[in-house]
Chain A
Amino acid sequence: METVLEVDSLKTYFYIEQGVVRAVDGVSFALQAGKTLGIVGESGCGKSVTSRTIMRLLSPNLARIVAGSIKYYPAEGPPIELTQVDPYGDQIRDIRGNEIAMIFQEPMTSLNPVYTIGQQIMEAILLHQDVSKEEARERAIDVLRLVGIPLPERRVDQYPHEFSGGMRQRAMIAMALSCNPRILIADEPTTALDVTIEAQILELIQQIQQDNHMALIMITHDLNVIGEVADHVIVMYLGQVVESAPVDDIFDNPKHPYTQGLLNSLPMIGRDKRLEPITGSVPGPHERPRGCPFAPRCPQVMDVCRAESPPRFVLGPASDVACWLYDETIEVGHDPG
């Protein structure tokens, strides 16, 4: 397996007037070429900040990478430590949008309304590839055709407002794919879309992933989407990875009480059972609990959980869980399974 990205113990904190927000507080994962990593969690869990840290899109005045590493393995040459590169420098610009591309959540706000779709796609191509304007335009039309936009020769000269929501998201994908990235980060790519359009977009992303042997990071709050596309899943809560496991284990044998709670909260078609929601709600950024971040909402909470943050307990070759229930040195009063 070819690893293209390795994130280890990453911490990104925001330094704002009201204090420090520990948005990402210890995230680790590895990403393989051709595979899909799903990042799932509720609002405020740090999943989007993780992706923006990898892309180095956060302003250094506001957000600081306080610990950890992000290793990118280019097709040729030595690995690049992305935490060390200048976020405004040439090195990250060569990678960003070229080798690692991103699809944002809201196509309405991520496209510039005063430029045509074609101009916005060509910008990325001209920046990263040594081609003429005519060639870039041809390439823009090609990628629009690739993402299934009818009449791309005409559409290329239209503005975002002339596109429907689904079409705009396709244009965003076209832009991300215009330089054949090795890694695609999709941050809630289908959240604002109707279910029929969501199906089209997911199908499209997976098709292109297969054709190009691209690594995909799918960030979403929707466990159903994760179940459909992901190979491996990390579950995040308040900036931390609480569980990391292959997708089948996450659904069939979830270990962390938070993962279990999410699955019990999820209406599943065909299950005639009352939902069992997690009690309470996600605390605000400044109300972070001591110890395990999930302790105040956890049905199996123990004294140690409130005092000390759990380390990651390795459960298998590809699974680990950050929960004291899995510490064999602690007497657990009840069955954790």
Chain B
Amino acid sequence: MTPAEKAGADAILEIQDLRLHFPIKAGLLKKTVGYVKAVDGVSFDVYAGETVGLVGESGSGKTTIGRCIVRLYKPTTGSMHFRTEAGPVDIAQLDKRELLPIRRDIQMLFQDPNSSLNARIRVGDIIAEPLEIHAIGTADERRSRVEDLLEQVGLGAEMFNRFPHQLSGGQRQRVGVARALSIEPRFVICDEPVSALDVSVQAQVLNLLADLQEELGLTYVFIAHDLSVVEYISDRVMVMYLGKLMETAPTRKIFEKPAHPYTEALLNSIPKRAPGGHRKRFVLTGDIPSPVNPPAGCVFHTRCQYAVEICRTETPPLKPLPEDPETSVACHLAEEVTLQPYYTAEERRNLESSRA
């Protein structure tokens, strides 16, 4: 799907000013002494059928957003309107009982297939569990559905009676995929689904996710720290830092024309082959600050090489670039600084032709 087509598509999920502040309790009376601002005012839309990549360093809040959408966490404030047949529903406000039907539509694929599967339950039963919870079909129907799913994710029905420990890492992640898809969701949060896998197996799972998306018309929010994986699978990328969105743009634009200094820094950090010697690059200094006391003004100013006075005092809003409304950026200097891309348009063409 091209960005133009997407602009015409309806948003399946509209997130407005989402915040999740975890209280820090201390002392005998468990008084709240502060808050970890894991997600701090994030707004974005997700369109049906697309893959949105969510990237950022650890502690940036990307996993927390994913968990808010499936309501493993209840957001502190903000709204998350999810489109259903009966019209948009604000998931943030639902209680446990009201969430049940929504959870048929929104599922989650977890990072570590070793710890997200119950070691004492057979693969077939793991995949059938969501069907049971949602009381779908008879026992026989569920069984045949699970066998179909096993085939669909490339495992084969003979895996039905195996236990997770009898499977390899890649096979386990396929079980995770089958479980997430068993109740035919429309929307899947993929939280680092391939980062625990070997390269050759990672590619198998990425292709599987792409095939299933096409076949079933799924919408993905794909959380990952590996930018090359995100580039491969995503239509759009959202860059997060300290609980805030720094930039959102179509994937190619992120790499070809980054608009936020933090995006530039991330691109510059990607290990890259430099034929004929080692490349010189600038490296982001220091660590991500604590989300308990995020810096005033722009949260990135403490590590930003372009920061000026206004960055230290005023928080820049996320807004579309005048010359390129597909890109939104939260930076005071967005229209002033020229940032180094991962590749130039010309390099990109060379890359494409050289690997054709």
- Do A270 and B200 touch across chains, with their CB atoms under 8 A apart? no
- Do B355 and A275 touch across chains, with their CB atoms under 8 A apart? no
- Do A195 and B269 touch across chains, with their CB atoms under 8 A apart? yes
Q: Which residues of B contact A223 (CB under 8 A)?
A: 199
Q: Of B203, B275, B279, B348, which one neighbours A275 at CB under 8 angstroms? A: B203
- Do B199 and A271 touch across chains, with their CB atoms under 8 A apart? no
A222 and B195 CA atoms in complex are apart in Å by: 12
Q: Of A165, A195, A222, which one neighbours B225 at CB under 8 angstroms? A: A195
Q: Which residues of B contact A206 (CB under 8 A)?
A: 278
Q: Which residues of B contact A199 (CB under 8 A)?
A: 268-271, 281, 283-284
User: Is B228 interfacial (CB-CB < 8 Å)?
Assistant: yes
Q: Which residues of A contact B229 (CB under 8 A)?
A: 267
User: Is A229 interfacial (CB-CB < 8 Å)?
Assistant: yes
- Do B352 and A281 touch across chains, with their CB atoms under 8 A apart? no
User: Is B105 interfacial (CB-CB < 8 Å)?
Assistant: no
Q: Of B57, B168, B198, B233, which one neighbours A195 at CB under 8 angstroms? A: B57
B239 to chain A, nearest CB (A): 12
- Do A277 and B204 touch across chains, with their CB atoms under 8 A apart? yes
Q: In which size bucket is the chain A interface?
A: 35 or more
Known contacts A223-B199, A277-B201; is-contact A200 B347 (Cβ 8 Å): no
User: Is B170 interfacial (CB-CB < 8 Å)?
Assistant: yes
Q: Of B268, B271, B287, which one neighbours A197 at CB under 8 angstroms? A: B287
Q: CB within 8 Å of B: which of A138-161?
A: none
A199 and B285 CA atoms in complex are apart in Å by: 10
Q: Of B268, B281, B352, which one neighbours A270 at CB under 8 angstroms? A: B352
List B residues at the A interface (Cβ < 8 Å). 57-58, 168-171, 198-204, 206-207, 210, 225-229, 231-233, 255, 265-266, 268-275, 278-279, 281, 283-285, 287-288, 342-343, 347-348, 351-352, 355-356
- Do A269 and B231 touch across chains, with their CB atoms under 8 A apart? yes
A287 and B285 CA atoms in complex are apart in Å by: 46
12 contacts between A and B (CB under 8 A): A195-B266, A196-B265, A197-B287, A261-B200, A265-B199, A267-B228, A268-B351, A269-B227, A281-B198, A281-B201, A282-B168, A282-B198
Q: Which residues of A contact B57 (CB under 8 A)?
A: 194-197
In the complex, per-residue mask of A196-213: 1 if CB is within 8 Å of any chain B CB, else 0: 111110110010000000
Specify the chain B residue showing the minimal Cβ separation from A195.
B269
Q: Which residues of A contact B58 (CB under 8 A)?
A: 165, 194
Specify the chain A residue showing the minimal Cβ separation from B210.
A274
Q: Which residues of A contact B348 (CB under 8 A)?
A: 270
- Do A269 and B343 touch across chains, with their CB atoms under 8 A apart? yes
Q: Of A196, A266, A273, which one neighbours B284 at CB under 8 angstroms? A: A196
User: Is A90 interfacial (CB-CB < 8 Å)?
Assistant: no
Q: Which residues of B contact A298 (CB under 8 A)?
A: none
Q: Which residues of B contact A225 (CB under 8 A)?
A: 271
Q: Of B199, B255, B266, which one neighbours A196 at CB under 8 angstroms? A: B266
Q: Which residues of A contact B287 (CB under 8 A)?
A: 164, 166-167, 197
Q: Given known contacts A197-B57, A281-B201, what 4 new A-B pairs fall within 8 Å (CB)?
A: A42-B199, A227-B272, A228-B279, A262-B199
- Do B225 and A194 touch across chains, with their CB atoms under 8 A apart? yes
Specify the chain A residue showing the minimal Cβ separation from B272.
A228
Q: Which residues of A contact B272 (CB under 8 A)?
A: 224, 227-228
Q: Of B198, B227, B278, which one neighbours A228 at CB under 8 angstroms? A: B278
Q: Which residues of B contact A203 (CB under 8 A)?
A: 281, 283
- Do B270 and A269 touch across chains, with their CB atoms under 8 A apart? yes
Q: Which residues of A contact B351 (CB under 8 A)?
A: 268, 270-271
